[in-house]
Amino acid sequence: MATYKRYRKEDTVSYSLGITLTFELLKFKTEYVNKVYIHSAMKEGETLDKLLSMCKAANIETVYTDKIFNVLSQKENCYVIGEFRKFNGKLSKDTSHIVLVNPSNAGNMGTIMRSALGFGMNNMAIIRPAVDAFDPKVVRASMGAIFSTNFEYFDSFEEYKKICGERELYPFMLNAKKSLHDVSPAGKFSLIFGNEATGLPDEFLNVGTSVIIPHSSNIDSLNLPIAASIAMYESTKKNFIK
């Protein structure tokens, strides 16, 4: 009999928890899906029919069991779980990047992926130590954006610099030189963000053009996904003329 374990970073597979996420998985990463688990409380009807026919068309096994839900999902109303093999990304020199240096919160990483996909910046460098991008919490917070995100881990910012090619680098820092209002990223660029609690170390003041998002002194800083999203919004504005 199958036994199910909690997700661990070392696993070769991860999970999409919930029907909406699993549809995103099936749509964008079909070839990586191992199985789709269906809970006994999943209602019959159009949605289930659609799920089953997508799985059948892609030759993906569907398994009816409640056990894996008890192990993997704390949420109610999670009746479908997709199991997928972890996939590898490789950043291209030719696109703009988001660079997360030592991100520690899974929800934040997922939220940033969602915004990044929204602003057409779905190429992400992640500098270790860092949260595991395949953690089901990242997958969920990304609302499926992770399946359209090209991300790659690096052991240090220096390692990243070796592959990123000539480009404008914009580290976001509270003691930065320039205001976001006054920079106009063009061509290829990288928006660089530090850890939630500590931000980027001071040595990043010497990397490219450091940038601050001006705000009142009544708060210490904006939260990380919000700062990253404002930066992406401003930097990609010209690509999204309504």
Residues binding its own copies (CB under 8 A): 111, 114-115, 117-120, 122, 143, 145, 148, 178-179, 181-182, 212-216, 218-220, 222-223, 225-226, 229-230, 233-234, 237, 240-242
Q: Nearer to its own copies by C-beta: 163 or 240?
A: 240
How far is CA 114 from each of CA 59, 111, 124, rounded to the nearest angstrom? Answer: 29, 5, 12
What are residue 19's phi and psi, to 5 degrees? Answer: -70, -40
Q: Nearer to its own copies by C-beta: 59 or 218?
A: 218
Q: Nearer to its own copies by C-beta: 68 or 183?
A: 183
SS3 string, 108-125, reads HHHHHHHHHHHCCCCEEE
Kindly state the smallest distance separating residue 35's Cβ from its own copies, in Å. 26
Kindly state the smallest distance separating residue 197's Cβ from its own copies, in Å. 11
Q: Which of 149, 2, 1 is nearest to 83 (CA)?
A: 2
For 188, the 3-state DSSP assignment is: coil
Kindly state the smallest distance separating residue 107's Cβ from its own copies, in Å. 9
Q: What is the rounded CA–CA span in Å between residue 22 and residue 112?
A: 20
220: its two tokens: 């210490």
Kindly state the smallest distance separating residue 215's Cβ from its own copies, in Å. 4
Kindly state the smallest distance separating residue 8's Cβ from its own copies, in Å. 20
Kindly state the smallest distance separating residue 18's Cβ from its own copies, in Å. 13
Q: What is the rounded CA–CA span in Å between residue 11 and residue 4?
A: 12
Q: Which of 100, 118, 97, 117 is nearest to 109 (CA)?
A: 100
User: How many Cα atoms sit within 13 Å of 65 on the Cβ side?
Assistant: 18
55: its two tokens: 């799985």
What are residue 65's phi and psi, to 5 degrees? Answer: -160, 145
Q: Nearer to its own copies by C-beta: 143 or 207?
A: 143
Q: Nearer to its own copies by C-beta: 207 or 230?
A: 230
Q: Nearer to its own copies by C-beta: 128 or 177?
A: 177
